[in-house]
Amino acid sequence: MHETRIAIDETDKRLLSLLQRNAHLTAQELGEELNLSASQAGRRRQRLEAEGLITSYAARLNPARLGLAVQAFVQVQMARHGAETTAAFARLTALQPEIVSAWTLTGEADYLLRVYCESLADLNRLIHQVLLAHPTVARVQSQIVMDQFKPDAPLPT
């Protein structure tokens, strides 16, 4: 999380913004939007990829169309802390496809997990049979998402 910031200019910022909205844009389309030649736009994109500003390209899926009716945020408080405990919990979360992202936090909770499940029963199983069953988990608190009125947005550039 303490990586060196890469210096970018306004054209790079615009390119990144365009790609966050539509990663399918060709070098030709980027060039037209940025008032550059296709080769200049392509080289800029390649440089931003090589410098680690662009880490991957992905499709955003519709969870409801996949039958994932329940989205929740789950706070996890650990009973013990340490490198081994952290590594074991990270492995546990990596093995659960329902856990789509996880963060380490300051404050009362140690971790925040974003979870998608097909049903409340599946969420209940994840909490009780997986998370609370972990030997160093002391407490779990979940918040079920009622509605997401702002979709995941692109990062500010």
Higher pLDDT, 58 or 37: 37
**90 and 68 co-located in one domain:** yes
**94 and 116 co-located in one domain:** yes
**135 and 69 co-located in one domain:** yes
Q: What angle do CA 85, 86, 91 make, to 5 degrees?
A: 100
**107 and 138 co-located in one domain:** yes
| Of 81, 94, 74, nearest in space to 136 by CA | 81
Q: Give the Cα separation of 38 and 50 in Å (integer).
A: 18
**90 and 137 co-located in one domain:** yes
Instruction: Provide mean pLDDT across the span 144-155.
Output: 92
Instruction: Provide mean pLDDT across the span 50-68.
Output: 94
150 occurs within a structural domain: no
**31 and 73 co-located in one domain:** no
User: pLDDT digit string (tens) for 71-121?
Assistant: 999 999 999 999 999 999 999 999 999 999 999 999 999 999 999 999 999
| Of 126, 52, 67, nearest in space to 93 by CA | 126
104 occurs within a structural domain: yes
Q: Where are the alpha helices (DSSP H) in 25-150?
A: 27-34, 38-50, 83-94, 120-125
- CATH number of residue 34's parent domain: 1.10.10
Residues 6+ apart with CB under 8 A from 95: none
Q: Which domain holds residue 43?
A: 10-50
User: pLDDT digit string (tens) for 5-53?
Assistant: 888 999 999 999 999 999 999 999 999 999 999 999 999 999 999 999 9
Total number of domains constituting the chain: 2
Q: Is the confidence at residue 1, as pLDDT, over 60? A: no
**44 and 69 co-located in one domain:** no
41 occurs within a structural domain: yes
The tokens describing 44, both together, are 């800029």
**87 and 44 co-located in one domain:** no
Distances (CA, A) of 6 to 13, 23, 38, 129: 12, 21, 23, 43
Q: Give the Cα separation of 123 and 120 in Å (integer).
A: 5
- CATH number of residue 111's parent domain: 3.30.70.920
